[in-house]
Amino acid sequence: MPAQPPSRGQRHAENGLSGTDADAQPGANISTPLGQDELAETFGRTRRHLERIFKSVLQETPKGYYLGLRLEEARNLLADTTLSILEVAIATGFNSRSSFSKAYKKRFGMSPARYR
C-alpha cells in the first residue's frame, strides 16, 4: 500500500510549528495585526524561515494567510452583527473603509455592502 501524504498537523510538526500555534496565533490579533517579524519571533523562527514554512504547508505567504483570516472574520461580522462597514473594517485591522472594501471584493468577488 502506498504511503499516505502527511497531514497538515504532521507537516506543521515537521516544520517546528504545531497546528494549533499556526492557526491560532495570527487570529489572536485580528484587530491589531502582528507584523511578520513579530510573528516570526512568536514562533522562534526567522522571518524567511517562517515564510518558507507557510508556503510549504499552506501554499501562501504569512501575509496572505493572515489577510484571509481577517477577511473571513470580517465576513462573519457582516453576517452576524449590525456593525457598520467601517466598524467591521476597524475591528479586523483595516485602516479605512476603502482599503477594506477593496481587499474584501478581491477575495470574495463582491463588496461588503453587497454581501450584507
Amino acid identity of residue 86, one-letter, is L
Full residue range of the structural domain in which residue 69 is found:
8-115
- For residue 79, give the CATH number of its domain: 1.10.10.60
Q: Residue 7: its pLDDT value, please?
A: 45
In a domain, 103, yes or no: yes
In a domain, 96, yes or no: yes
Q: How many angstroms separate the CA atoms of 86 and 88, rounded?
A: 5
The count of structural domains within the chain is 1
In a domain, 3, yes or no: no
In a domain, 1, yes or no: no
pTM attached to this predicted model: 0.68
Written as nine digits, the cell of 107 is 477575495
* pLDDT tens per residue, range 102-115: 999 999 999 999 99
Query: What does the pLDDT average to over 13-21?
Result: 45
* pLDDT tens per residue, range 70-81: 999 999 999 999
- How would residue 28 be classed by pLDDT, with cut points 50, 70 and 90? low
